Chains A and B, each alone.
Chain A
């Protein structure tokens, strides 16, 4: 085993430990700060998982909010309306029920990912973007018309199970999973598909399957992020998972530098905090936000957090 593997696993453990400590102290933190911090964590999950699809595998998905919605609704129904039926399975214990609901939400989102991916991943570039965009809209409209989950009003009174531990624990696991996946010998295939699909195919890679794996894994974590989001905000409605939400996540990936692990995390933090800080500008908030984005793209089109040189030997012993 190369030593980096152990090091990264160690890092994962350390992160989880720190999150655990932070959680035990969180009672003393201001609740606003706490909710912003959790928003940051959820965005890290969303951005990192989208980075697998848009950054590393070179596809262009605009449907991430759709997968998030699927996970959010599934988890919310499981901890809400269906809780009486299935929480006895877990002895009524929230610390078992909640992660189970999140994971089921992730799985349903992954299935949705497979469903969309199967017919559309043969498409490339703009065409894939359009299909995933359409998918996001379809999901939104479906939830708007499902009376079972509140229609356009959405679901309210979702228990606030999300806390620092769940959010950042999941974020750490997401980042680690994406990282470990890409640094395996299997994972080089994702980068190869992004670099040159024809050459990858000529090497014997099943490129469609690679894109599918990226899509399904990405959708899975987006679904979990959706579940965390629902149990943080206590209410969800279909319009919260619209095109704008997808774009928000895409912007994080682009700003962080497509296919950079750390850059995308930093971008997720920056953009989440920025939108909060701009709140005092009231109605002008989104105007300022947009202007900032335009300025950033004009000055740093390659991504905000790209280091000038990329060490070629980075994955040499992978």
Chain B
């Protein structure tokens, strides 16, 4: 479904990604774990076209999408739920959700998607007329995910859904992520600092460090790798 081949991204003279190759198959949840500044967010941004790679290529559903602008990719079912939530603070919750369906012209489809997002996150229904900036962190994260879903993606790039959120809500959000994957067959590329949680819901995982892929494999295998346990899973 999605494949990166030898991707290199630089910010000016600084190399953020070096020769990164990874693959996301249809119906999979793949997680990319790594520390701060390892290049996780950069990877997602390069895929969704927010950054232009220096070299290498990105393939989505059999097409080379390297360097394609974000608004074209959204139309093709590749949605990006950015880090730090980035909701439109001065729009209401409902308006934020409708923004997500920006490219969808059919009102009935929009209403159907809205209903789906409401059933997924009942909390959002209660807060629909509230300005998004007044939501709690967890609610904003739900909104950001809901908004990304409004474009009816086949593939979702999800950046740090647990960042700055109460543990209880994090649990809920991860349950919803697996539900989306199971029920809708949504393929998800998940970037997460909370490696324990991410590995628990993923099929496969890649470990990235200093812009390079260190190792990869089935989530259970990565989880039991001694190196990973030391570095990301709190030892033991």
Determine the distance from Cα of A218 to Cα of B94 in the docked complex, in whole angstroms: 28
Tell me if B161 counts as interface (CB < 8 A to partner A). Answer: no
Cβ distance B100 to chain A, nearest Cβ, rounded Å: 6
Q: Are B48 and A194 in contact (CB under 8 A)?
A: no
- Closest B residue, CB atoms, query A201: B70
Taking CB atoms and an 8 Å cut-off, the chain A residues in 302-318 that contact chain B are: 310, 312-313, 315-316, 318
Q: Are B131 and A312 in contact (CB under 8 A)?
A: yes
Tell me if B147 counts as interface (CB < 8 A to partner A). Answer: yes
Mask: chain A, 93-115; 1 = CB below 8 Å from B; 0 = not: 00000000000000000000000
Residues of B contacting A318 with CB < 8 Å?
A: 95
Q: Are A192 and B70 in contact (CB under 8 A)?
A: no
Mask: chain B, 76-116; 1 = CB below 8 Å from A; 0 = not: 00011110001111111011001110110000000000000
Determine the distance from Cα of A199 to Cα of B96 in the docked complex, in whole angstroms: 11
Q: Are B102 and A312 in contact (CB under 8 A)?
A: no
Residues of B contacting A313 with CB < 8 Å?
A: 92, 129
* Interface pick from A143-151, A203-211, A290-298: A203-211
Q: Are B88 and A191 in contact (CB under 8 A)?
A: yes
Tell me if B22 counts as interface (CB < 8 A to partner A). Answer: no
With an 8 Å Cβ cutoff, the count of chain A residues facing the other chain is 23
Q: Are A199 and B71 in contact (CB under 8 A)?
A: no
Tell me if A36 counts as interface (CB < 8 A to partner B). Answer: no
Q: Are B88 and A204 in contact (CB under 8 A)?
A: no
Cβ distance A186 to chain B, nearest Cβ, rounded Å: 9
Taking CB atoms and an 8 Å cut-off, the chain A residues in 170-191 that contact chain B are: 185, 188-189, 191
Cβ distance A163 to chain B, nearest Cβ, rounded Å: 39
Question: Contact residues of A with B, CB < 8 Å?
Answer: 185, 188-189, 191-192, 194-196, 198-206, 310, 312-313, 315-316, 318
Question: Contact residues of B with A, CB < 8 Å?
Answer: 48, 50, 69-71, 73-75, 79-82, 86-92, 94-95, 98-100, 102-103, 128-131, 134, 147-148, 151
